[in-house]
A and B are shown apart, each in its own frame.
Chain A
Amino acid sequence: EAQVTQNPRYLITVTGKKLTVTCSQNMNHEYMSWYRQDPGLGLRQIYYSMNVEVTDKGDVPEGYKVSRKEKRNFPLILESPSPNQTSLYFCASSLGGAAGQETQYFGPGTRLLVL
């Protein structure tokens, strides 16, 4: 089954404790992206990756890191989480950024609480 998976689905942590949220897709998609979703603000793009070893900042990259060492995986790293990073996080992938390839497939979400 074609899908985007995220782990963990739920996470409670404390300020300053490094964490990684994994994302994996099995559709051989080139493009992957991370979003955070907050009430009233919709989905805001954190980072995106156009292909292996190619990443760029979205609208809200502060406090986050990403890596794209393999095509299928795109982990989101919070080196020193803070309470304002409490949010619902979504990973997404698409064929690419060219015309006709933009439709993104989303993972189920990771709900993060930073105390």
Chain B
Amino acid sequence: GESVGLHLPTLSVQEGDNSIINCAYSNSASDYFIWYKQESGKGPQFIIDIRSNMDKRQGQRVTVLLNKTVKHLSLQIAATQPGDSAVYFCAEYTGGFKTIFGAGTRLFVKA
């Protein structure tokens, strides 16, 4: 069935290093993707998005890469900071109103 999943449930990085969080999706009809960040005790918050007609999009310290050939999405965080510690979700949209979220990756930033 349709699913959005993540390769790694947890990721630990040193402060100042770059982080890469991965996501695999199975629905080739998905045309829009969003990365959300969820801090402890809070709801998910939008980080960055990308449409299927793009393969890369950059924000402030974050970059999302989309590889439609292998149905893979990644979130890159440059110069990771302690405030980046959170759970990160990718979400998949197929042009309708349903949203499919991945299971999430927990990012730990070591000082």
Instruction: Tell whether A and B belong to one assembly.
Output: yes
- Assess whether B43 is in contact with A92, with CB atoms less than 8 Å apart: yes
Chain A residue contacts of B43, Cβ below 8 A: 4, 90, 92, 106-109
User: Across the two chains, which residue of chain B brings its CB closest to A4?
Assistant: B43
Q: Tally of A-B residue pairs with Cβ under 8 A?
A: 58
- Assess whether A103 is in contact with B103, with CB atoms less than 8 Å apart: no
Q: Is B25 an interface residue (CB 8 A)?
A: no
In whole angstroms, what is the CA distance A98 to B100 when docked? 16
In whole angstroms, what is the CA distance A35 to B45 when docked? 14
Chain A residue contacts of B41, Cβ below 8 A: 108-109
- Assess whether B93 is in contact with A106, with CB atoms less than 8 Å apart: no
Q: Is B69 an interface residue (CB 8 A)?
A: no
Q: Is A74 an interface residue (CB 8 A)?
A: no
Chain B residue contacts of A56, Cβ below 8 A: 97
- Assess whether B97 is in contact with A48, with CB atoms less than 8 Å apart: yes
Q: Which listed residue, A41, A48, A99, touches B103 by the CB 8 Å rule?
A: A41
Interface mask (B63-107 → A, CB under 8 Å = 1, otherwise 0): 000000000000000000000000001000100111111111000
Known: A42-B103, A99-B32. A106 touches B44 (CB 8 A): yes
- Assess whether B97 is in contact with A31, with CB atoms less than 8 Å apart: yes
Interface residue count on the B side (C-beta < 8 Å): 22
Chain B residue contacts of A106, Cβ below 8 A: 43-45
Q: Is B24 an interface residue (CB 8 A)?
A: no
Interface centre among A42, A99, A102 (most CB of B within 10 A): A42
In whole angstroms, what is the CA distance A103 to B49 when docked? 9
- Assess whether A102 is in contact with B89, with CB atoms less than 8 Å apart: no
Q: Which listed residue, A40, A48, A92, A103, touches B98 by the CB 8 Å rule?
A: A48
Q: Is B61 an interface residue (CB 8 A)?
A: no
Chain B residue contacts of A48, Cβ below 8 A: 97-99
User: Across the two chains, which residue of chain A brings its CB closest to B96?
Assistant: A97
Interface mask (A41-52 → B, CB under 8 Å = 1, otherwise 0): 111110010100
In whole angstroms, what is the CA distance A4 to B44 when docked? 12
29 contacts between A and B (CB under 8 A): A33-B99, A35-B101, A40-B9, A40-B103, A41-B103, A42-B89, A42-B104, A45-B99, A48-B98, A48-B99, A50-B97, A58-B98, A59-B98, A59-B100, A90-B43, A90-B44, A92-B43, A97-B97, A99-B32, A102-B34, A102-B49, A103-B49, A104-B34, A104-B99, A106-B45, A107-B43, A108-B42, A109-B41, A109-B43
